[in-house]
A = this chain, B = another copy of it.
């Protein structure tokens, strides 16, 4: 990640420099700006196509400036170059004067830049301009600074009669621990659709947790020339939705413990006098209390009319401290909060208990945000959230705590999706980011709905599902589409040669360790093995739902043409409508034109969407259906705890909720080390839990960590802010 300027270099020097850069993994792309006399064929041939940012090697000079890449969304690339020059090329600037007006015949330099530099070098257009370009009315926009804005839900009313666009889901094969680039494929596809095929097009992405940004993972804005910009705003506070979720989640937690303390230290009468106080001689129930009374079967509205028994039932939630399922959350990788004891101050009168914090995006409130389809729906789901069980075995809800109205107030702005743009100026909604294991791992229903109306009948909305298709896509169909009523037209299945080789029997891939040789050298048999196992199975899973599949091979520089061709060939043999290589990372939208064309074609084929199961099936049957048809298991095996939980949920009326499997994403099975398409296994269900407000049952297949930690040297060591330019370094 460095920038290097060469001036007056010889043909030899430039070519040698380029050959070195081709193999440097830190160099994401090269701007090659040289006087036309220096652009000899030797120089042009030296630069690998995937590092050629502006396509200078296969096209005539000056095309960027002359607008080949341009569309209404592309901001002037010149400003990027100018910025870089200002920062790194002082000596050069002096030669050509302070008012540098970029043209390829004047500037001659090479520059090699990192993700954050690519992002920073591009000045986003004002979000108000983007909003106008996509047909939003000024009153539908709430700007948050210059680069992002919330969009009001009233848009849905205005465009009520407008037909929806095509709905494209980006899912992936079972990934390596390094990830295979679903986000970059999503962004690249939308950039290609917008700028190159001239289709109205929208990306819908999840908001990433802030915690991992400072831990190991880094940001989630995409990468290379397929990014959401400004990437620091995308990765950090954004418009405060996760902060709102944290506040709402922790208000529930505080209410739970405080209520237990007050119940433990007060008589029924004292509790009643405080909960229903006499104001100027008049006692009355608040509306939220009347809701609780109704659920208790008490239909009186005059506090004076309650019997002592009714008062006791009303005032005591009688939460069983050992059965509180609600955890606190924080949007920080704070491993020491995984298991804690609270209430140890003397003011809490010895009411200590063990509990823990999850990362904020694991909150049920995040899952609700992602599934709600209106403010009212969100409010109702918040009220239904079950926080624990009373000593008599009854579920206790947020509404019982009296807190659900306040939660809706805290979340009233979070429900509006946030509009941003890609590096090439295409529109993006960033909204909600529920965990992909204990929740459903998809961005919000509302963002998709707004986007589908905005793009209109001939447009495309590309949305991304977390993890592999066995998890993210299955939940997208069975949970998200069920909640939204939306029907997908195409699945884009992202694969990499790296992951395919792993599934074909390649050695272990792990973060931090160098990649084994098999992943760097051509190995057609490993590739074929991966295609005929995992890729084939994931295509079949999509077909279970009746949706056509386009395989997008996210090309790395180490992939050979033979490997690429083989993947595309086998993918089509396995039933994919099409299979194409993508170069979005190095080339932006231009690198995804082929994919965009394939998706466009597939979207026009008839699709015959169907759910995998009917929600009225018994819980066990729903779990078994997913395990067999999606994962390839022979059967499921439930622990006694799982069985008794299922009985309890049936008895409480939660039996017809859909299923959200909490399974590793590193294998189709429950065993992360089993790659390819495992068969002959029985899926063990350790426990079953419910997110009643979000509206799903989640069986636990193994243990899911809901709080990441910080390593010895977290990312934050490299993150800094220049106090003068306000530029951020070290985010990636």
On A, residues with C-beta under 8 Å from B are 26, 142-146, 150, 210, 214, 232, 236-237, 240, 243-244, 246-247, 250-251, 253-255, 257-259, 261-262, 266, 271, 274-275, 277, 280, 286-289, 328, 330-345, 347-348, 351, 354, 356, 374-376, 379, 402-403, 405-406, 408-410, 412-413, 709-721, 723-724, 726, 728, 730-731
Q: Which residues of B contact A709 (CB under 8 A)?
A: 258, 347
| Alpha-carbon separation in the docked complex, A210 to B259 (Å) | 19
Contact across chains for A730 and B405 when beta carbons are under 8 A apart: yes
Q: How far is the CA of A711 from the CA of B244 in the complex (A)?
A: 22
In the complex, chain B residues whose CB is within 8 Å of the CB of A257: 334-336
Chain B contacts for A253, CB-based, 8 A: 332, 334
B334 with A344: CB separation less than 8 A: no
- In the docked arrangement, what's the CA distance between A373 and B145, Å? 22
Say yes or no: A711 contacts B274, CB within 8 Å: yes
Of chain B, the residue at the smallest CB distance from A252 is: B332
A718 and B286 form a contact (CB under 8 A): yes
Closest B-chain residue to A374, C-beta based?
A: B723
Flag if B247 contacts A402 (CB, 8 Å).
no
Given A243-B237, A254-B333, A288-B717, A275-B354 contact (CB < 8 Å): no
CB-CB under 8 A from A720, the residues of chain B are 287-288, 405-406, 408-409
Cα distance A726–B713 in the bound complex, in angstroms? 45
**Which residues of B lie under 8 Å from residue A330 when comparing CB positions?**
250, 328, 330
Which B residues are CB-close (under 8 A) to A275? Answer: 712-713, 717
CA gap between A275 and B711 in the complex, in Å:
10
Asked whether, in the complex, the Cβ of A247 is within 8 Å of the Cβ of B237, the reply is: yes
How long is the Cα–Cα vector from A287 to B251 in the complex, in angstroms? 39
In the bound complex, CA of A5 to CA of B413 (Å) = 33
Taking A255-B710, A275-B713 as contacts, is the C-beta distance between A348 and B344 under 8 angstroms?
no
27 A-B residue pairs with Cβ-Cβ distance under 8 Å, sorted by A, are A214-B251, A214-B406, A232-B409, A237-B244, A237-B413, A240-B240, A254-B334, A257-B334, A258-B709, A259-B712, A266-B712, A274-B711, A288-B720, A328-B334, A330-B330, A337-B342, A338-B345, A339-B345, A340-B341, A375-B721, A379-B723, A402-B717, A405-B719, A408-B721, A409-B720, A409-B728, A409-B731
From B254, B344, B379, B410, contact of A339 by CB (8 A): B344
Looking across the interface, which residue of chain B has its beta carbon closest to that of A377?
B723
In the complex, which residue of chain B has the Cβ closest to the Cβ of A145? B142
A26 to chain B, nearest CB (A): 8
Beyond A254-B335, A288-B720, A408-B720, 15 additional contacts (C-beta under 8 Å) are A143-B143, A232-B409, A254-B334, A255-B714, A258-B335, A258-B710, A258-B714, A261-B336, A277-B713, A336-B351, A338-B344, A338-B347, A340-B343, A375-B723, A409-B721
Instruction: Say whether B354 contacts A335, CB under 8 Å.
Output: no
Given the complex, which residues of B lie within 8 Å of A347, measured CB to CB? 335, 338, 709
A716-B144 contact given A331-B247, A341-B341, A711-B274, CB 8 Å threshold: no
Given contacts A143-B145, A335-B347, A345-B356, contact A406 B719 (CB under 8 A): yes
Query: Once the chains are docked, how many angstroms separate the CA of A59 from the CA of B266?
Result: 55
For the complex, would chain A's binding face be called helix, strand, loop or mixed by DSSP majority?
Answer: mixed
* Chain B residues closer than 8 Å to A254, beta-carbon distance: 332-336, 710
Question: How many monomers of this chain does the complex have?
Answer: 2
When the two chains form their complex, are residues B348 and A721 in contact, meaning their CB atoms are under 8 A apart? no
Q: Is the CB of A712 within 8 A of B274?
A: yes
Given contacts A286-B718, A376-B723, contact A332 B712 (CB under 8 A): no
State in angstroms the CA–CA spacing of A449 and B453 once bound together.
46
Q: How far is the CA of A253 from the CA of B331 in the complex (A)?
A: 12
How many Å from the CB of A412 to the closest CB on chain B? Answer: 6
State whether A406 touches B716 (Cβ < 8 A): yes
- Residues of B contacting A143 in the complex (Cβ-Cβ under 8 angstroms): 143-145
- Using known A-B contacts A237-B240, A254-B334, A723-B379, determine if residue A716 contacts B339 with beta carbons closer than 8 Å: no
* Min C-beta distance of A280 to chain B, whole Å: 8
Q: Are A274 and B723 in contact (CB under 8 A)?
A: no
Distance in Å from the Cβ of A225 to the closest Cβ of chain B? Answer: 23
Bound Cα distance from A51 to B232, whole angstroms = 51
Task: Please give the distance in Å from A267's CB to the nearest CB on chain B.
Answer: 12
Which residues of the partner chain B approach A246 to less than 8 Å between Cβ atoms?
243, 246
CB distance from A407 to the nearest CB of B (A): 8
Kindly report which residue of chain B lies nearest to residue A730, judged by CB atoms: B405
Determine the chain B residues whose CB is within 8 A of the CB of A258 once the complex forms.
Answer: 333-336, 709-711, 714
> Within 8 Å CB of A716, what residues of B?
251, 255, 402-403, 405-406
- In whole angstroms, how far apart are the Cα atoms of A413 and B257 in the complex? 34
Closest to A512 in B: B277
**Contact residue among B145, B214, B250, B715 (Cβ-Cβ distance under 8 Å from A144):** B145
- Inter-chain contacts of A710 with B (CB < 8 A): 254-255, 258
Q: Are B345 and A335 in contact (CB under 8 A)?
A: yes
Q: How far in angstroms is the closest Cβ of chain B from A603?
A: 34
Cβ of A336: which chain B residues have Cβ within 8 Å of it? 254, 257-258, 261, 342-343, 348, 351
Alpha-carbon separation in the docked complex, A479 to B262 (Å) = 40
* Nearest-Cβ distance from residue A265 to partner chain B, whole angstroms: 10
Distance between A127 CB and nearest chain B CB, rounded to angstroms: 10
- Shortest CB-to-CB span from A410 to chain B, Å, is 7
10 closest pairs, A vs B, by CB? A405-B720, A243-B243, A376-B723, A406-B716, A338-B345, A254-B334, A258-B710, A339-B345, A274-B712, A257-B336
Chain B residues within 8 Å of A262, by CB: 711-712
Residues of B within 8 A of A338 (CB): 344-345, 347-348
